[in-house]
Each structure stands twice: as C-alpha cells, then as structure tokens.
C-alpha cells in the first residue's frame, strides 16, 4: 500500500466518524457515515474504498461496543458501487450523483435490511426501529417493516452522500485532483 | 493509562481481541435464550472481577434503548401463548426472542468496551511487529483511532466558524440540509489537502522499509494469555459442535 493511501484512509475514516457531529447539530434524520468511504472509492478505487469502509465500521464498533460490526458488509457494498459510479463518471453532475446515490441507497438498504432482520431481530438505530415498530402495528410483517424502514432511510442518506461527494470532487483544485487519477475520471474534468 | 482496567491492561493485546471475538461468537452459537443470558452474566461478572466495571455500566447505557425497542417489537404484540406482567400482556415466544437478543447485545458490548478501554495503540503495534504481521493494517487501525478525535475537534471548529460568519441552520429540513455543504465541504477538502503532507512524513519515517521491525519494549505473552486464547477458541468450537449436533 502506498504512503499516500495510508495517509488518506485513516483521514477518510475519521471524516466518516466526525460527520456525525455535523448531522447531530443540524438535527437531520441521516447518518452520512459513508462519505469518507464513497470519496476514497472514487479517488483511489474499490480496494481503498473497501478498506476505508471496514476500518470505519471496526473503529465505530470499538467506540460503541462492537454490536454494529456486521454492518461492515453494507460499507463494502457501498465502496464497490461507488468505485463503479466513479469509473462511469457518475459524479460529473448533481443529477448523475443523485441517480447513483438512489441506486446505491436501494442496494445498501436491502443488504442492511437483511442484517437488521437476521442478526439484530429488527432492532437497530432508534429512529429506524421506531418506523419498523410503527409499520408492524399498521399490519406489515416484521420482514416487510424492517425492509421498508431500512430502504427508506438509506435511499435519502446515500443520495445526499453522493451529492456531497460529487460537490467535493468537482470543487477539488486541479493540483489536488491531479494526484488522484480517479477524481478526474469520476467528474470527467 | 490510569483509567484502564487494572487486570485487563496487563493482558497481551491479542488476548483482548481473542476474548472479545470469542464472546461475540458464543453469543450467537449458544442455544437461546438460556445460553446468551448465562454468557451475559459471566461477562458482567468477569468485568467486575477484572476491574472493568465501567465497561459493564457503559454497555448497559448503550444497550438500554435497544432492550426497550426489542421488548416493544417482539414481546408487546402478545401473540400466541402469553405471560402477564401486572397489567401488561407479553408474548411468551416474543419475550424469549427479546431476552436472548438483549443478552447477546449486552455481552458483546460489555466485552468490546472493556477491550476499547484497555486498548493501548503502541503496545498493539509492538505486538504486531513481534509477530511479523502486516504493519500497514495495524497502522491503519491505530492512525484512525488517533485521527478521529482530531477530526471531531475540527468539525466542531468549522461549526463555530460558520455560525460566526452568519450561517443559520435552524428551520425546515430543506434549509438544514442546505447547510450541510458549507459545514461538510471544508472538513473534507481540508482532509484531502493534508494527505500529501502526511504521506511524505510516513515515507521519511521508513514506512516502505523492508525487513523485520524490532520493537523496543514488546508486550509479554504470558502462559495465562496463551491459555485464555486457546481456551476461548475451544469453547467456541465446542459450542458450535454442540449446536450442530443438537
């Protein structure tokens, strides 16, 4: 692994963790805890993105008691799809970023629903579980309720993550973008 | 160092990881609900005996909202055979599912928070160097643990600076979402800007150097550590075998 990648990944993971502070201040019903993963995958490729996602989930788990570690699989899926989006210039405009974000949100939500249902028996983050409980009381089965709440949350979250990463990549000074070949390809600059 | 659990901090860094991983595996391998409940009791007792009581307390705080939600989702519908707790009627099967899952979460959270409280990055890097394992992987974990508080501080500074410049992030969700760009962008661009500086620092400190690394004060791997690690592995294998045969 190159020194540049070894310098980039811990910082990207730290962004994943620190962005929670911003989201809490804004009081938005989002996580945005994959910004660093998507950015690294777009800049340095799928492997770097996967490593960022797994390290991110490991460190978060260390802080919060390892119960959320199984969601590392969602980070891996997001990293792979973000790298694919970057390869196809998916960050060239706000519209393409939002489109890829919705697609990734759909897939990530489905994977997340499987983990929530089978590993956590439907109980994960407070807000998502509150929606799950509401939906089960409205007559949906537990599986349907978990899927609907997970996919619903992830669609919005990943769309905003992809929009933010798109804005960042397009705002990168050429001097910095030049050091990451993925940046120019992702935005077709 | 002083706030780390007394006995746990003397253990070899790999022992703590092995015990935490073993507890996580046992939580799902042992038959529910009695297995996970017994495991949670053992983990809490071990935490109290080894001076890691604070981890048990923190784990309870982390898990408490999840326990309430588990009861609401699984036990409260009151389907099938029921149990009456004063005026509340709970589903017997749902209560068993909720108790088993609550105990699993409690056991894993207590063990891993004890690990986190006793984790010493430099001892961990030394232990990895002694074994000749990938220094890059260990560096990623340790560098992230050191970078996380720095970036949280930076995010707080950006929030204060933008508020001082007149950014208002109250109001409807759309207005609050719009405030994300001026708050998140400086954090991300700042991070990318310093990557080269850090890469150069790593290069000049011999990150790419080949050959074995020699730690100055490697952590002792006592017999008790090895017994604990192998014992944990045997327990997990036995639990899986018992589950499979049953």
Return the higher-pLDDT residue of B235 and A130. B235
* Token duo for residue A1: 């692994």
Please state, in angstroms and rounded to a whole number, the distance separating the CA atoms of residues B44 and A129.
Answer: 27
Q: Do A8 and B195 touch (CB under 8 A)?
A: yes
The enclosing H or E element of B88 equals strand B88-91
pLDDT for B241: 92
Query: Radius of gyration (Cα) for chain B, nearest Å?
Result: 24
Give yes or no for B161 touching A (CB within 8 A).
no
Peptide bond into B28 cis (omega under 30): no
Interface test with A, best of B25, B33, B55, B73 (most A CBs within 10 A): B73
pLDDT of residue B164: 92
- As a residue count, chain A comes to 189
More confident residue, A26 or A9: A9
Positive or negative torsion for Cα B149, B152, B158, B161: negative
Q: A49: helix, coil or strand? A: helix
Interchain pair A28, B111: CB under 8 A: no
* Amino acid B1: pLDDT: 42
Terminal-residue alpha carbon distance, chain A: 27
E strands, B92-244, in order: none
* Residue showing tokens 């730690």: B215
Which single residue is written with the structure tokens 């706030």? B3
CA-closest candidate to residue B186, choices B147, B157, B163, B165: B157
Q: Which tops the pLDDT comparison, A71 or B78?
A: A71
Complex prediction ipTM:
0.86
pLDDT score recorded for residue B2? 45
Q: Is the pLDDT of residue A145 over 60?
A: yes
Cβ contact, residue pair B194, A15, below 8 Å:
no
Tokens describing residue A141 = 């089965």
CA atoms within 13 A on the CB side of A65: 21
Spatial distance between the Cα atoms of B54 and B47, rounded to a whole number of angstroms: 8
Closest partner CB to A59 (pick from B65, B101, B148): B148
Q: Does the bond joining B33 to the residue before it have cis omega, within 30 degrees of 0?
A: yes
Q: What is the pLDDT along chain B (246 residues), one digit of tens a residue?
A: 445 556 666 788 899 889 999 999 999 999 989 999 999 999 999 988 888 889 899 999 989 988 998 888 888 766 677 777 777 788 888 889 999 999 999 999 999 888 888 888 888 888 988 888 888 888 888 888 888 889 999 999 999 999 899 888 777 888 888 888 899 999 999 998 888 888 888 888 877 777 778 888 888 899 999 999 999 999 999 999 988 887
Q: How far apart are CA B48 and CA B30, in angstroms?
A: 23
A140 — pLDDT class (breaks 50, 70, 90): confident
pLDDT score recorded for residue B5: 58
Query: What mean pLDDT do residues A148-170 have?
Result: 92
Q: How many other C-beta atoms can be found within 10 angstroms of the C-beta atom of residue A115?
A: 18
Least confident stretch, A48-62, A107-121, B82-96, B112-126 = B82-96
Please tell me the predicted confidence (pLDDT) of residue B215: 83
Pick the range with the lowest mean pLDDT from A67-76, A166-175, A180-189, B32-41. Answer: A180-189
Alpha carbon distance, N-terminus to C-terminus of chain B: 45
Give per-residue burial for B169-207: e unless 16+ CB within 10 Å, then b. Answer: beeeeeebbebbeebbebbbeebbeebbebbeebeeeeb
Contact B139 A58 (CB under 8 A): no
pTM for the structure as a whole: 0.82
Percent of chain A at pLDDT > 90 equals: 51
């Amino acid at each position: 692994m190159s020194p540049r990648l070894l310098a980039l990944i811990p910082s990207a993971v730290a962004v994943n963790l620190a962005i929670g502070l911003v989201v809490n201040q804004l009081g938005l019903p989002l996580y945005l805890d994959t910004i660093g993963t998507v950015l690294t995958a777009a800049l340095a490729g799928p492997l770097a993105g996967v490593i960022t996602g797994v390290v991110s989930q490991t460190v978060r788990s260390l802080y919060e008691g390892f119960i959320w570690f199984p969601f590392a699989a969602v980070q891996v899926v997001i990293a792979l799809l973000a790298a694919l989006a970057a390869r196809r210039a998916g960050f060239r405009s706000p519209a393409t970023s939002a489109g890829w974000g919705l697609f990734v949100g759909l897939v990530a939500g489905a994977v997340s629903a499987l983990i929530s249902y089978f590993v956590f028996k439907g109980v994960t983050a407070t807000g998502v579980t509150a929606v799950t409980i509401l939906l089960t009381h409205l007559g949906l089965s537990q599986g349907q309720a978990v899927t609907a709440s997970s996919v619903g949350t992830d669609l919005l979250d990943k769309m905003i993550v992809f929009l933010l990463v798109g804005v960042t990549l397009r705002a990168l000074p050429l001097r910095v973008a030049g050091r990451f070949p993925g940046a120019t390809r992702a935005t077709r600059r | 160092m002083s706030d780390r659990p007394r006995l746990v901090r003397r253990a070899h860094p790999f022992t703590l990881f092995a015990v935490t991983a073993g507890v996580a595996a046992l939580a799902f391998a042992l038959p529910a609900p009695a297995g996970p409940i017994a495991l949670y009791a053992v983990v809490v007792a071990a935490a109290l005996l080894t001076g890691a009581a604070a981890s048990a307390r923190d784990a309870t705080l982390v898990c408490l909202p999840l326990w309430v939600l588990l009861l609401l989702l699984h036990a409260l519908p009151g389907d099938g055979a029921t149990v009456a707790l004063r005026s509340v009627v709970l589903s017997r099967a749902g209560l068993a599912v909720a108790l088993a899952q609550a105990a699993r979460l409690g056991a894993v959270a207590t063990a891993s928070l004890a690990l986190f409280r006793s984790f010493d990055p430099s001892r961990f890097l030394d232990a990895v160097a002694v074994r000749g394992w990938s220094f890059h992987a260990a560096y990623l974990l340790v560098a992230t643990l050191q970078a996380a508080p720095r970036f949280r501080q930076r995010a707080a500074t950006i929030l204060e600076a933008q508020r001082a410049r007149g950014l208002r992030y109250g109001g409807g969700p759309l207005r609050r979402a719009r405030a994300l760009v001026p708050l998140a962008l400086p954090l991300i661009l700042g991070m990318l800007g310093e990557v080269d500086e850090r890469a150069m620092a790593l290069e000049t400190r011999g990150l790419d150097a080949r050959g074995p690394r020699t730690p100055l004060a490697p952590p002792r791997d006592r017999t008790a550590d090895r017994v604990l690690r192998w014992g944990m592995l045997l327990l997990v294998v036995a639990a899986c075998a018992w589950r499979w045969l049953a």
